[in-house]
Structure 1
Amino acid sequence: MDLKTKLGAGVVSAAIALVAAWEGRSLIAYVDPVGIPTICDGYTQGVKLGDMASPQRCDALTEQEVRRALSVVDRSVSYPLPDEVRVALSSFVYNVGAGAYANSTLLRKLRARDIAGACQELDRWVYAGGRKLRGLERRRQAERQVCLSSLH
């Protein structure tokens, strides 16, 4: 395995750990705070109440979606981002979706090479279904800390 592949695997592992710390795992589908059927570590695509998943299936889905989120982040700017920023923003994109990220002030700041400003924007993303959620506030604080850690 070459160095670039090893480093990429480290970013994926770190992003999975960050996602898992905030999503919580359920092997049985449930309705999330905004009414979306969800399973595993926040996975929602095609989920119906009553669905079940094994821990191995959840691991695979989470890794797949983290890799997808990381790809969205990496393709969104024309310059290399610090790994800590990639980890934090992968967790963010995993949670809010690529569409919300694509239309965000956060991404506009990132494209303007204002990484610190982009990291600070995370604090604005604490609402779900029109309600401010304490869990999202804590998650965004953690993501912001990871994001800014590369700049100190």
Structure 2
Amino acid sequence: MNAGRVSAAGLGIGAAILASWIAAEGFSAAPIVPVRGDVPTIGHGATRYEDGTRVTMTDPPITRERARELAINLLEQQYGACVRDSLGDTPVHATEFAQAVDFAGQYGCGAWRGSSMLARTRAGDYAEACNAYLAYRYMTSSQPLQGYSAYQWDAAGRPKRWRYDCSTPGNRICRGVWTRQQARHAACMEAQP
């Protein structure tokens, strides 16, 4: 059942996790807002510097070497720590840990802590934890956008949140969200006995 799995508390960010993150995030020397409504990022998706200062749109450009340093710090100190802390001594495969860190990096620690992936991993239901990645396929908005459907309403029955299903074939809105989730799912399933 736990073949190849070790305590999550002892796992760190290795070269494979870093390389995967860099490939998925791409590189921007100057600060950008990667997705409408998101916070500014720089380098390979860093939202903060080592001292905790947030990236702003007025920050100066950085080099690829500096971007790599920020990515290592981001993955180890923020997202790796989040996953390790939330899983504690739960046994996980290194690949399962890597996918969890990547997810926390894309969606945030709060989303990871509230996810069914975390709950199912803690329960030892590893295959279902992998399958749960496929549920995270939506882009959301507080404004009605073309192609988005209402999914939350206020007390008066008026729509207040909209979402777009990124698994919609041929979409040009958020295809990367869905392909990244499929890649997480596939990698996670490959780690299953």
Measured against the shorter chain, the TM-score band is: 0.7 to 0.9
Gaps of 5+ in 2: 1-9, 49-53, 141-162, 167-173
Q: CA RMSD in A?
A: 1.9
Q: Considering fraction of residues, name the structure with more helix.
A: 1
CA distance in 1, matches of 2:138, 2:43: 22
Identity of aligned residues (%): 27
1:94 corresponds to 2:102: no
Where does residue 59 of structure 1 map in the other structure? 68
CA distance in 1, matches of 2:85, 2:11: 14
CA distance in 2, matches of 1:61, 1:121: 29
Runs of 4+ with >6 A deviation: none
CA distance in 1, matches of 2:66, 2:137: 29
- Report if the CA contact (8 A) 1:24-1:41 is conserved: yes
Q: Deviations over 1:20-46 (max 9, x none)?
A: 121111011112213321211111231
Q: Deviations over 1:41-96 (max 9, x none)?
A: 11123121132222121101101111132232222223221111111111111111
Shift of 1:128: 3.0
User: Which amino acid is the alignment partner of residue 65 of structure 1?
Assistant: L
Shift of 1:104: 1.3
- Equivalent of residue 183 in structure 2, options 142, 147, 150: 142
- Report if the CA contact (8 A) 2:83-2:97 is conserved: yes
Where does residue 74 of structure 1 map in the other structure? 84
CA distance in 2, matches of 1:21, 1:123: 20
Rg larger for:
2
Q: What is the TM-score when the length of structure 2 is the normalising length?
A: 0.68
Q: What is the TM-score when the length of structure 1 is the normalising length?
A: 0.85
User: Which amino acid is the alignment partner of residue 70 of structure 1?
Assistant: G
CA distance in 1, matches of 2:41, 2:121: 30
Q: Considering fraction of residues, name the structure with more strand.
A: 2
- Report if the CA contact (8 A) 2:100-2:112 is conserved: no
Aligned length in residues: 145
Where does residue 144 of structure 2 map in the other structure? none
1:12 corresponds to 2:14: yes
